[in-house]
A and B are shown apart, each in its own frame.
Chain A
Amino acid sequence: MELLLQTLINGILAAGIYALVASGLALAVGVVGIVNFAHGEFTMIGAFIAYLLFVGTGLDPFLSLGLAALVLFGVGAITYLGLIRPVLAAPELNQMLLTFGLSVALQNIALLLFGADTRVVSTSYQGATLSLGGLSFGVPPLLAFGLSVVILGALYGFLDRTRLGLAVRAVAQNRLAPGLLGIETQRVYLLAFGLSAALAGVAGVMLSVMLYASPTVGFAYTLKAFAIIVMAGLGNLRGVVPAAIILALAEALVSTYLPGGGGWVEAVFFLVIFVALTWRSWRAA
């Protein structure tokens, strides 16, 4: 019973970062209409920003979150203006090849700059845990989870309650109408892509503490984020959080209860995509 409870808690705690990365991807796919395979590389950049700031100035990663978010918003905006906007009207295959190429390019630039080693941000509370009735909570995952909840709350508050959020939702739900209702769609795309990268970057900062920074750290998160947004329904921002929880719980259960579970964890996202797509097409038929 205790094992099950601990497993579920681990799952829930992991879901925060998943939801951050996946909400970002959902903005890129749902609002801008771009299947961004380089999304995890924004996470990677976030992780390296946290690492460099920590090594260079000793700044605690959880304090560098805001700066990383700003930098990544800029990176996302520049990526949108320079690479994405010119291919918005291009066939989807071209768009995917472009973002896939961007992913490979960013990974290799990071490889040139930092080498292939994994770099851990070793804070003083790195291995700290809180114990509560036989259950233990790692401090970094707990902090990351708490911040994720706050950030996601702010994101959904923005989407639900503000004038600009209404425009973002409008663009996500219909391509043709927003411009004719007076919305400057190009600005909404720019904002959404910048936010998308910022969310990925913030998750990267958290990963630098809980996992490590490395040139390929983001790729697994691209795949997991895809599994989550496929489960939520492409373009459905609201479904991202529950879908992230489901994926994280499934991974935690597999890791605990399947013999050799640790090795199978990275296959769970694939199973989730498979089941979600099959179920959808079966229901549609």
Chain B
Amino acid sequence: MLSVQGLCKRFGGVTAANEVSLQVAPGEILAVIGPNGAGKSTLLNLLSGLLRPDEGRIEFLGQEITHAPPEVRTWKGLGRAFQIVQPFPEMSVWENLLVGALYGKPSTPRKVAERVVAEVIELTGLAPKAQTPAGELTLLEDKRLELARALCTQPRLLLLDEVMAGLRPSEALEAVALVRRIRDSGVTVLFIEHLMPVVRALADRVVVMDYGRVIAEGPYDAVAANPKVREAYLGRAQ
């Protein structure tokens, strides 16, 4: 579904993404983990088009999108939700979602868009808040809105950037269930996460990054037992 080859991005002397290659298969939930500064967010920004790579190639559904602007990627079915939520604070929850549904695919009729919003607002449990201005939501509701709005663009692949950060364990559990429901509805998911219990619960497969490189990939248990991964997180044993 998504194929990334030799992606490089440098900021001055820092190489935030160094020869990153990975594949995402349709229907899977892939976790990208790594210590702070490993280049996970850079990777997500490169995939969603907020940053352009210095080298490498990104293919999505068989089409090259390496240098396509963000809106074109969205139209093709690449959705993105942020770690730091980015609502339209003065719009109601409904309007926030409507933006995603109307513009996520070019020239979507309003009736169709409203139907999509109605479905997503039920799925994400935001229906009681439909008319609340987004600026007045709690953190948990904000995170749901962020996810819901990305869903309204009707993505085939959803990129999630630490959407559980700051949630209480019980809330994180709810969110895990929600991501599963999203996958079961036919959306492939690539997510960045710091909370290992969440990664373990959700991910079919894990990619580990450190210093801009992919250092390991595989099922959670194999990756967690990998000495290179332990070293990246805990430092080299003396």
A147-181 interface with B by 8 A CB criterion? 163, 166-167, 169-170, 173-174, 176-181
Cα–Cα distance between A167 and B89 once the two chains are bound (Å): 14
The answer, yes or no, to whether A263 is at the interface (CB within 8 Å) is no
The answer, yes or no, to whether B166 is at the interface (CB within 8 Å) is no
Which A residue's beta carbon lies closest to that of B82? A176
Contacts of B153 in A (CB 8 A): 181-182
Residue contacts A-B, CB under 8 angstroms, 30 given:
A163-B110, A166-B95, A166-B99, A166-B102, A167-B99, A167-B103, A169-B90, A170-B99, A173-B88, A174-B87, A177-B82, A177-B88, A178-B99, A179-B50, A179-B70, A180-B48, A180-B49, A180-B50, A180-B70, A180-B71, A180-B80, A181-B71, A181-B99, A181-B103, A181-B104, A181-B152, A182-B75, A182-B105, A183-B71, A184-B71
Cα–Cα distance between A138 and B142 once the two chains are bound (Å): 52
The answer, yes or no, to whether B98 is at the interface (CB within 8 Å) is yes
B156-214 interface with A by 8 A CB criterion? none
CB distance from B33 to the nearest CB of A (A): 23
B80-127 interface with A by 8 A CB criterion? 80, 82, 86-91, 95, 98-100, 102-106, 110
The answer, yes or no, to whether A7 is at the interface (CB within 8 Å) is no
CB distance from B68 to the nearest CB of A (A): 11
Q: Are B110 and A170 in contact (CB under 8 A)?
A: no
The answer, yes or no, to whether A185 is at the interface (CB within 8 Å) is yes
Which A residue's beta carbon lies closest to that of B101? A181
CB distance from A266 to the nearest CB of B (A): 33
Contacts of B104 in A (CB 8 A): 181-182
Q: Are A174 and B88 in contact (CB under 8 A)?
A: yes
Given A166-B102, A182-B104, A176:B50 Cβ within 8 A: yes
Q: Are A170 and B88 in contact (CB under 8 A)?
A: yes
Q: Mark B142-156, 1 if CB is under 8 A from A, else 0.
A: 000000011011000
Given A170-B91, A173-B88, A173-B90, A181:B82 Cβ within 8 A: no
Q: Are B98 and A166 in contact (CB under 8 A)?
A: yes
Contacts of A181 in B (CB 8 A): 71, 74, 99-100, 103-104, 149-150, 152-153
Q: Which one, A174, A176, A183, contacts B103 given CB within 8 A?
A: A183
Cα–Cα distance between A174 and B49 once the two chains are bound (Å): 17
Q: Are A177 and B71 in contact (CB under 8 A)?
A: no
The answer, yes or no, to whether B219 is at the interface (CB within 8 Å) is no
A220-242 interface with B by 8 A CB criterion? 236, 238
Most chain B beta-carbon contacts within 10 A, residue among A163, A176, A182: A182
A231-283 interface with B by 8 A CB criterion? 236, 238
Interface residues of A (CB under 8 A from B): 163, 166-167, 169-170, 173-174, 176-185, 236, 238
Cα–Cα distance between A177 and B95 once the two chains are bound (Å): 14
Number of interface residues of B (CB under 8 A): 31
Cα–Cα distance between A173 and B102 once the two chains are bound (Å): 17
Q: Which one, A176, A183, A185, A238, contacts B99 given CB within 8 A?
A: A183
The answer, yes or no, to whether B69 is at the interface (CB within 8 Å) is yes
Q: Are A177 and B86 in contact (CB under 8 A)?
A: yes
> Besides A176-B86, A177-B86, A180-B50, 14 other CB < 8 A contacts?
A163-B102, A170-B91, A173-B89, A174-B86, A174-B88, A179-B74, A180-B49, A180-B80, A180-B150, A181-B71, A181-B104, A182-B74, A182-B105, A183-B71
CB distance from B116 to the nearest CB of A (A): 12
Most chain A beta-carbon contacts within 10 A, residue among B48, B74, B153: B74
Which B residue's beta carbon lies closest to that of A187? B71
Contacts of B71 in A (CB 8 A): 179-185
Q: Are A169 and B91 in contact (CB under 8 A)?
A: yes
Cα–Cα distance between A179 and B69 once the two chains are bound (Å): 8
Cα–Cα distance between A23 and B75 once the two chains are bound (Å): 32
Cα–Cα distance between A167 and B69 once the two chains are bound (Å): 17
Cα–Cα distance between A181 and B150 once the two chains are bound (Å): 7
Contacts of B102 in A (CB 8 A): 163, 166
Q: Are B88 and A169 in contact (CB under 8 A)?
A: yes
CB distance from A153 to the nearest CB of B (A): 20
Contacts of B105 in A (CB 8 A): 182
Contacts of B100 in A (CB 8 A): 181-182
Contacts of A177 in B (CB 8 A): 82, 86-88, 149
Cα–Cα distance between A164 and B212 once the two chains are bound (Å): 39
Cα–Cα distance between A179 and B48 once the two chains are bound (Å): 10
Cα–Cα distance between A179 and B104 once the two chains are bound (Å): 9
Contacts of B149 in A (CB 8 A): 177, 181
Which B residue's beta carbon lies closest to that of A175? B86
